[in-house]
A and B are shown apart, each in its own frame.
Chain A
């Protein structure tokens, strides 16, 4: 296949909820996007990861039918946001990183207003609102004004706006910001469920440990360009990583490490951190420790694979 054929195949593949190829956008002297490629498939959660100012929000604005790109091809739910914004909007839900709510409405009125704006038939709006408020566990706040909600509760209420028209594509910019741990777990489960039901979910976030548990694929962008697109299971193994070892007998562990002359940090209640160059070295370490009779409880990488890949990536580009 030629490049043009491949491009057209990717753009028109119905399995792709979001396709972006070579997207560029400049704001005056600042080139926010310098050729972003991204694919978010239906039935998958795709993580959009990159440092501050990498262009994540700009990219999501382009995908969300709000911003005209200077160049590039984009499809969201099978339509071009530039030429068919209405078709895209009826199938896409977008939540920006910073947004306002209507403080004087109640939570229920908020959902019902957006249901009307998305043309949910009036007979179904009340049911839909009840359903969605229950989904984000705000049912007890249905008749409270939005301004009494906490930041995390507002984030959850915003999700009802995104989901009110049952979109096939979700574009979420930092949806976990301000959420407490319990809500983050709930959000994770919700995103997984939506993906299982066939939606293409694109999430940008800084909380990489969360993303690692929810995402099927990850797209790294940096300075307006895609620098990596991977399945999470096949993330390139970071070579040098820190591993944390915990043993029932700390003095024995420290003695064994010193005996094998592994440089290590000071012990903490969580364990002892050791920097190792490869997974082979990890195997050798564990074998050595067990061989010495150290009661090893665990040996695990510090930070997720995603975080390690991200850190390695941003290091390369600095």
Chain B
């Protein structure tokens, strides 16, 4: 299906203009900023308490802020997009658009661009607070760039999903509810499914372990022997991918590792994971991806396994692309069917 820059830009500009004029944006954006500001401020205050957290305050502040921004945006974005297509149908403005020279792909992409653009306005409002985190130190440029990019992409995916639901379902209330269910499925749903699958994946395995043989007095080791024992363990390396599309997992694992920190007392390399929220989540999911034999014991610092986020992000982007394709298909005319109860005009 053909698409043109002119068509997409025409639709996007129109949609964006209609969105701006329709609502009381200044209030919504103001509330959004105040909530983010309060959250960041509270984190900042709590990190000033002497609770034994080492390292620069910017690292935990930034991690917590980005996770919070993502969580809040996942609540706001479906509402922004869930009536993008069926709302136009209900208002009787879609058909007049479809008989112009705009193609279905022009309309779908243009509307998506406007919705995504709106979501990015919300993200942009968090930038002053991000700057605060950077000032506090401990946020590398690469982490900043990657994290913001990943959040932007994830918001685009959610927009695309909500838009497809609005193209498939006749009523905008139904599509709004289902958009929230889709976000729930991606965030909480992946956790639940992973948890259940982890239980099911549990295997009883026989392992050999080299154990020392002591002399009869129990004082000296005379040699070693292989001893067999059975144990049960979840084989999460087979099911880690269930967790991969979770937006929080993608965000956390994609954040580039921070440079190792020297313990000021011992001069040794110290782990960042007690202050680095993003890094810690990343380590946990990478650990889940490794077979039990390879899993780190004790400090996880040396065992940074294979990355999970490329799979998760790819899956999410594929989901978004599929959603866009569905929207385009549903906008194609002449059409064979009409959504039940909806006049085509």
Does the CB pair B93–A102 fall under 8 Å?
yes
For residue B18, CB closer than 8 A to chain A, the reply is yes
Does the CB pair B95–A104 fall under 8 Å?
no
Which of A68, A99, A109, A114 contacts B95 (CB under 8 A)? A99
Does the CB pair B338–A117 fall under 8 Å?
no
A61 vs chain B, min Cβ distance (A): 6
Does the CB pair A85–B334 fall under 8 Å?
yes
Given contacts A27-B338, A65-B334, A117-B10, contact A104 B101 (CB under 8 A): no
For residue B230, CB closer than 8 A to chain A, the reply is no
One digit per residue, 1 when the CB lies within 8 angstroms of any chain B CB and 0 when it does not, for chain A 86-111 equals 10011010101111111011000100
For residue B220, CB closer than 8 A to chain A, the reply is no
For residue A262, CB closer than 8 A to chain B, the reply is no
Does the CB pair A114–B99 fall under 8 Å?
no
Please, how many angstroms separate the alpha-carbon atoms of A118 and B335 in the complex?
A: 21
For residue B79, CB closer than 8 A to chain A, the reply is no
Which of B7, B93, B96, B335 counts the most A-chain CB atoms under 10 A from its CB? B96
Which of B10, B22, B93, B101 counts the most A-chain CB atoms under 10 A from its CB? B101
Which of B6, B17, B99, B334 contacts A68 (CB under 8 A)? B334
Which of B93, B102, B334, B343 counts the most A-chain CB atoms under 10 A from its CB? B334
For residue A287, CB closer than 8 A to chain B, the reply is no
Give the contact-size bracket for chain B.
20 to 34
Which residues of chain B come closer than 8 Å to A244, judged between CB atoms?
none
Does the CB pair A66–B334 fall under 8 Å?
yes
Does the CB pair A66–B95 fall under 8 Å?
yes
For residue A141, CB closer than 8 A to chain B, the reply is no
Which residues of chain B come closer than 8 Å to A66, judged between CB atoms?
95, 98-99, 333-335, 344
Does the CB pair B343–A113 fall under 8 Å?
no
27 contacts between A and B (CB under 8 A): A62-B334, A65-B99, A66-B98, A67-B344, A68-B334, A85-B333, A89-B99, A90-B101, A96-B95, A96-B96, A96-B345, A98-B92, A98-B343, A100-B91, A100-B92, A101-B93, A104-B18, A105-B17, A105-B18, A113-B14, A116-B6, A116-B10, A117-B7, A117-B100, A117-B102, A118-B100, A119-B101
CB-CB nearest 10 A-B residue pairs:
A100-B92, A96-B345, A117-B100, A104-B21, A100-B91, A100-B93, A68-B334, A116-B10, A99-B92, A68-B336
